[in-house]
Amino acid sequence: MQFNSFAFLFGYLPIVLAGYFLLDRWHRASGGLAPGWHPLAPAAWLALASLFFYAWWDVRYLPLLLASICINYGAGRLIGAHAGAARKRVLVAALALNLGLLAYYKYANFFIDSVTAVAVATGADAARLPWHGLDIILPIGISFFTFTQIAFLVDCYRGEVREYRFIHYVLFVSYFPHLIAGPVLHHRDMMPQFADPANAHPRAANFAVGLSIFTIGLAKKVLIADNLSPLAIPVFAAGAQPTLIEAWIGVLAYTFQLYFDFSGYSDMAIGLSRLFGVKLPLNFNSPYKAANIADFWRRWHMTLSRFLRDYLYIPLGGSRRGEVMRCRNLMLTMLLGGLWHGAGWTFVIWGGLHGLYLVLQQAWQRLFGAAPGYCWLRWWPGVLTFLAVMLAWIFFRAPDVATAWDITGALVGANGVSLPRGLASHASSLAQWGWQPAFDGIRWIELAGPGLPVLLAAMLLAFKAPNTQEIFFLYEPAIERIFQPAGRWAFSWRPTSRWSVGLAALFVACIFGMNRVTEFLYFQF
């Protein structure tokens, strides 16, 4: 069930909200003595609704999610009850089980295909090989609920977990605003909120802030990201061979499509959760404004970045064992981070590129210190960071390595320089100015469509406009505060009639733009 669907907006969400608050109202109206009612009823209702949300995609995988929840909950209790070597053995066994589950569903066919490719390259007959691809459907959200529970197990081992109520744990893992595409949650952040009975009381402030943030996220998805998709899809098709102009427009379109798609989902998740009185951690903070690649990873998919740092980079040794080991740990962390996003060599290359970027940044800072302080040079690190990120996105999006290299070459003219065929109708006008370019590109630009204007608007918004957290800073949209405005912020949201009318009009525009329901790009991870 998509957040940007009519079934969710006008069916599922109103029913879940009504049940959540009515259960608490009935419990309080009876003085807590009504037979059959329990103070955990609102949390239980929300947990059941979240499981239903997951089952809507494919009910066959609901038992897998439930089994994962029950086994990890039991392992966490065992870790908390034991000490010494027994405690560590339970942790290792539980981590192995989680990683084995993820490896089977997400990486088994990648491993088989890679081994097959090597065997064929060395002269073997693919038809006679004893192994073949498995018929596996990747369970949606498996990476997110697996990483969430790995963090829980490690926190149990470190003695940082204090609350073990099963209902709250089920809700912690399956909570529908974050279940499919994050953020990656921490037990210590969420359990106190789920246990707070005040959150089950409806508050006008939560509804005003939550619906406003949700509407902005919905607009990012429906009005911006979905309109950029037609510009990117033909360029990234296998064998498309775009020319220089097409390649640049297609790559830029995907760069900003992914930005507003993921940013929109993050806003929608925070807004939805706020309706229930629960704050989620921030997951997105204007990453294309980053001054360097390390700053980019502090802004992009922030909860995953913290997970990789706390549960992979630091346990590997971090920067404690010298520069060579720091570089090794950075590369390993980013390579595994790339594999987390997808089972394919394109994702390995994407992660490797970001690892290389981080290593080069560290080397630059050791040799030359900080970026130049001259006014006319201050913006260069940000430009180089954006171009480096955009280059890596090509491998992230391309269906195979060959297509990624072809598009990369096209950015520097390897496939020639010509105008797209969609501009051929303007040939006579261009000829009057003495310009007679070729129109032999792929057929993909629709001048009458919104794609190119939306792309320009998306670039302006990403680089110049305040982000959602900055706009709602005064009302603490999430767990962390990341921005302290100097004086009165010009775009600060307030519960006024002007903001209400504007956001209502934006929501109506989104409704009319939802003529087709499209998945969020991060759903596949």
Annotated catalytic residues are: 341
Phi-psi region of 426 (alpha: psi -120 to 50; beta: other; left: phi over 0): alpha
Which of 354, 362, 369 minimizes the C-alpha distance to 319?
362
How many whole angstroms separate alpha carbon 54 and alpha carbon 46?
Answer: 12
Cβ(326)–Cβ(301) under 8 Å? no
How many whole angstroms separate alpha carbon 65 and alpha carbon 144?
Answer: 11
C-alpha 216: how far from its chain's center?
Answer: 17
Residue at 8: amino acid letter: F
Which of 416, 476, 474 minimizes the C-alpha distance to 441?
416
Which of 421, 216, 385 minimizes the C-alpha distance to 295?
385
- A 10 A CB-CB count for 38 gives 13
Cβ(356)–Cβ(338) under 8 Å? no
User: What are the residues facing 300 on neighbouring strands?
Assistant: 284
List % helix, strand, coil for the chain (3-state, nearest 5): 70, 0, 30
DSSP string, 335-362: HHHHHHH-SSHHHHHHHHHHHHHHHHHH
How many whole angstroms separate alpha carbon 197 and alpha carbon 20?
Answer: 12
